[in-house]
Amino acid sequence: MSMNISLEDAINQRDLLAKAIGEAVVKAGIAAPGFPLTGPQLLMLLDDLTTAFTEKPVLTLPDSWQDSEGLECVSADAIRQLLTDAGIPFKG
C-alpha cells in the first residue's frame, strides 16, 4: 500500500514529532525548555530518553545510619531487606 502525502503534510508531521520529543525530554528532566531541537539533537535526546527509561537506578547504601549523637538508629540490614523485598536494586 503506497502512502502519498504532500510535502507540506510531511513537514507538519515532522514538526509535530520534534515537538513531542522535545516536550518529553523536558518533562523527563533531560533537557531544559528552549533546548535547540535540530535533527542531531533530537536523535541524541531520543536516545537519552530511551536510556533513562530502560535503566534502573541503583542505590548505594552506607553501612549504617546514625542519629545526631552518632548512635546507629537504623540497621543497614533492615534497609537492605526492605529494598530487596520491594525489588529495588542497590549496592552495599
Tell me the whole-structure pTM to 2 decimals: 0.53
Single-letter amino acid code for the residue at 92: G
Domain ranges of the chain: 7-54, 59-91
Walk along the chain (92 residues) and give the pLDDT tens digit of each residue.
Answer: 567 889 999 999 989 998 898 888 888 888 888 877 788 888 888 888 888 777 766 666 666 666 667 666 666 677 778 778 887 777 76
